Chains A and B, each alone.
Chain A
Amino acid sequence: GDSVTQMEGPVTLSEEAFLTINCTYTATGYPSLFWYVQYPGEGLQLLLKATKADDKGSNKGFEATYRKETTSFHLEKGSVQVSDSAVYFCALDGNSGYALNFGKGTSLLVTP
């Protein structure tokens, strides 16, 4: 079945450092891919998405490119801020109307 694997955290970075959170997936067909962010005590917010191969999703300085050849959707940001401290979830939607398939989440802590 479909699955998402993302790097385990926690990830600790200094402010303005470069961020990469790896995400790979297994799926049949052509899934849509998502990154969600969860701030402490809150629900999930959609950060970005890509619906087909080679699409690049971007938002708030974060980017991720849908790589079909490597089945990956790595999240990147060139310069993180303290306010980016949160948990990041990679997710896959294999079939519209079905629940998203989530990775286990990666906790990011950015220190001043």
Chain B
Amino acid sequence: GAVVSQHPSRVICKSGTSVKIECRSLDFQATTMFWYRQFPKQSLMLMATSNEGSKATYEQGVEKDKFLINHASLTLSTLTVTSAHPEDSSFYICSASSGTDYGYTFGSGTRLTVV
């Protein structure tokens, strides 16, 4: 079945530094990738949608200069949290879609802690 690999699973960084999270579709071509942030008490917030080769579409209230998304190939999307602050600490999850048969596959998530 479709597999999405997300790395790293956990990262701790110092305030003011940048962190890159990778999301790879291992056995299918992901025409669209989605990035979510999960807050305590479970709710998932869609941050942005990215299509291969084009700029990401950010949801209202998400700072595009802070959360840089790149979808340079059909198998890789990256989320870079720039100048991270403690309030950016969260669980980030990517999802990839091949655009066929309503397939959405999720990565295993990245726990970001900014200290």
Contacts and interface: CB of A to CB of B under 8 A. Distances in A.
A100 B109 CA distance: 17
B44 A89 contact: yes
B42 A105 contact: yes
A90 to B, nearest CB: 12
Contacts of A41: 109, 111
Contacts, number: 51
Kindly name the residue among B43, B104, B109 whose own CB sees the greatest number of chain A CB atoms within 10 A: B104
A43 interface: yes
- State the main secondary structure of chain B at its contact with A: strand
A54 B95 CA distance: 27
- State the main secondary structure of chain A at its contact with B: strand
Interface size for chain B: under 10, 10 to 19, 20 to 34, or 35 or more residues?
A: 20 to 34
A32 B102 contact: yes
B103 to A, nearest CB: 9
Given A44-B93, A97-B97, A107 B106 contact: no
Interface residues of A, number: 24
A43 B21 CA distance: 14
Contact of B102 (A42, A89, A96): A96
Interface in A29-47: 32, 34, 36, 38, 41-46
Interface in A3-31: none
Given A43-B108, A93-B102, A102 B44 contact: yes
Interface of A: 32, 34, 36, 38, 41-46, 49, 51, 87, 89, 93, 96-100, 102, 104-105, 107
Interface of B: 4, 6, 31-32, 34, 41-44, 46, 49, 93, 95, 97, 99, 102, 104-109, 111
| Leading 5 A-B pairs by shortest Cβ distance | A105-B42, A44-B106, A43-B108, A43-B106, A43-B109
